[in-house]
Amino acid sequence: MIPRYTRDKMGAIWTQTASYDRWLSIEKAACEAWCVEGLIPKTDLEKLSKATYDIAILDDVLKETKHPMTAFLKSMTDHLGEEGRWIHHGLTTSDVWDTATAMQLRDSAELLLMEVDRLIEVLYLKALKYKNTLMMGRTHGVHAEPITFGQKLAIWWDEMRRHRTRLVNAKDMISVGKLSGPVGTHATVPPSIENSVCKLLGLEVAPFSNQVIQRDRHAQFVTTLAQIAGSLEKFSTEIRGLQRTEIREVEEPFGVGQTGSSSMPHKRNPELTERICGLARLIRGYSVTSMENVALWHERDISHSSNERLILPDSCIALDYVLDLMTHVINNMTVHTDRMRSNLEGSHGVVFSQRLLLSLVEAGSKREVAYKIVQRISQRALDENLELYDLALQEPEVVNAIGSDLLQEIFNYNHYIRHINETFINAGIK
């Protein structure tokens, strides 16, 4: 991932040095386990515990071997004596590589969970703040019925809580190590070594493996990140829509001195939420690749290896970035409550058409007859910029059926606020 979209803590997990450091910890943990088994003398283990790798040697050897693991091992053993023969004993490259990758994904998930929690908290507070702020609800982009802005944010809050559960499950699924040797038979490294190493590293043991940890685990992880990104794109798309000049109910943060256009000084474009949408599409594409990695030949091939060098760090880094950006947008957005009210009232009362229809039905009218009456006067209200309430008062069938007092009550926004508040209470937002 380019530096523009890389935050420090997440980026640090995915540096090449970070990978090598995890390889080193796995190799040392294996040596400790072999010592417990009685294979490696304690005197040798004391020396091995101080072992490290030499990046200069590693890079030089890699030019010749074209194999990162053999180059890594050479960079370690060049600074060791006879005790160096115990390094990588019984292991194969994927034992170290896949276990280290699991550690990186687990550590990434922990950071992502922190960012998800931040966003959940901000959405909760904003939903509470705007729970009674009326605005137009839209379906197909067309005015439907009144909602509150808090209701919209509460939906996003609830969605992110579901994503948190998914991310915890994905973290648990990927937090497994594998030290079962070539093709996973444990013929060169017993399960006791695998158990000891994984325990030291804070990982569970993959119950069965071949040469690799099975890629359905990685697919679940990346697709979970893609789902989260998909929701962030959804939130961003809504904010972008509400920022349109014709609507202008919400605006993303726009800093002092910031410019929206090189040619039009008045422009305040939703570029933050557009950026979130763009990176969400990237992560979604990675999820497809992760699923294609599940089907490897026989006990394994390395068709997954090349793309995982990109999709695993990039999906974690990109989601970390857009989660933080989304939290910033929600926390600092401008909410034009006056525009929300203006757009709502600009509907000429047609948003109450369903309440009027139901009242007529409850008063004894046939639904089909009532529907035609309400539809006719609603269309007239929109076409002629008249108020639906006034037109309803001119309809004898309406007034005779429900009376003028009830008719006035029908055209009351508090009805919607009351029921939305009940939903908030049921969801635990008070």
3-state secondary structure 118-145: HHHHHHHHHHHHCCCCEEEEEECCEEEE
Phi, psi of 250 (to 5 degrees): -140, 145
Which parts of the chain sit beneath pLDDT 50? none
Same-domain check for residues 54 and 107: no
Same-domain check for residues 43 and 168: no
Same-domain check for residues 334 and 202: yes
Structure tokens, 176: 């497994």
The distance of Cα 33 from the centroid of its chain, to the nearest Å, equals 38
- Is residue 42 situated within a structural domain? yes
Q: How many CA atoms lie within 13 A of 23 on its CB side?
A: 27
- Is residue 74 situated within a structural domain? yes
Same-domain check for residues 240 and 115: yes
In angstroms, the first-to-last Cα distance of the chain is: 41
> Quick check: pTM over 0.75?
yes
Active-site annotation holder among 140, 266, 298, 306: 140
Give the Cα-Cα-Cα angle 274, 275, 278 (nearest 5 degrees).
90
Q: What is the CATH number of the domain that holds 287?
A: 1.20.200.10
Cα–Cα distance, 311 to 306 (Å, whole number): 9
How many folded domains does the chain comprise? 3
Same-domain check for residues 100 and 195: yes
- Is residue 418 situated within a structural domain? no
Residues 122-148 pLDDT 10s: 999 999 999 999 999 999 999 999 999
Residue 206 gets which letter from DSSP? P
Same-domain check for residues 373 and 272: no
The answer to whether 206 and 214 are in contact (CB under 8 A) is yes
Q: What is the CATH number of the domain that holds 69?
A: 1.10.275.10
Residue where a domain stops, chosen among 343, 366, 392: 343
Q: What is the CATH number of the domain that holds 396?
A: 1.10.40.30
pLDDT of residue 265: 82
Cα–Cα distance, 394 to 409 (Å, whole number): 17
pLDDT of residue 184: 94
Residue where a domain stops, chosen among 86, 106, 128: 86
Same-domain check for residues 168 and 316: yes
Structure tokens, 393: 């008062």
Active-site residue flag, 25: no
Same-domain check for residues 393 and 276: no
Amino acid at position 356, single letter:
L
pLDDT of residue 80: 94
- Is residue 22 situated within a structural domain? yes
Cα–Cα distance, 76 to 138 (Å, whole number): 63
Same-domain check for residues 355 and 246: no
Alpha helices in 133-266 (DSSP H): 149-174, 191-201, 216-243
Contacts of 81 (CB under 8 A, 6+ apart): 47
pLDDT of residue 252: 95
Active-site annotation holder among 192, 261, 342, 404: 261
Q: Domain of 332?
A: 93-252+266-343
Same-domain check for residues 160 and 308: yes
pLDDT of residue 258: 78
- Is residue 329 situated within a structural domain? yes
Structure tokens, 311: 């999709």
As a whole number of Å, the CA-based R_g of the chain is 30
Residue where a domain stops, chosen among 298, 314, 343: 343
- Is residue 9 situated within a structural domain? yes
Same-domain check for residues 168 and 38: no
The answer to whether 393 and 404 are in contact (CB under 8 A) is yes
CA-based nearest residue to 13, from 97, 106, 75: 106
Active-site residue flag, 261: yes
Same-domain check for residues 320 and 362: no
Cα–Cα distance, 419 to 126 (Å, whole number): 19
- Is residue 65 situated within a structural domain? yes
- Is residue 415 situated within a structural domain? no
pLDDT of residue 262: 75
Cα–Cα distance, 142 to 78 (Å, whole number): 71
SS3 295: coil
Structure tokens, 284: 């979604």
pLDDT of residue 254: 84
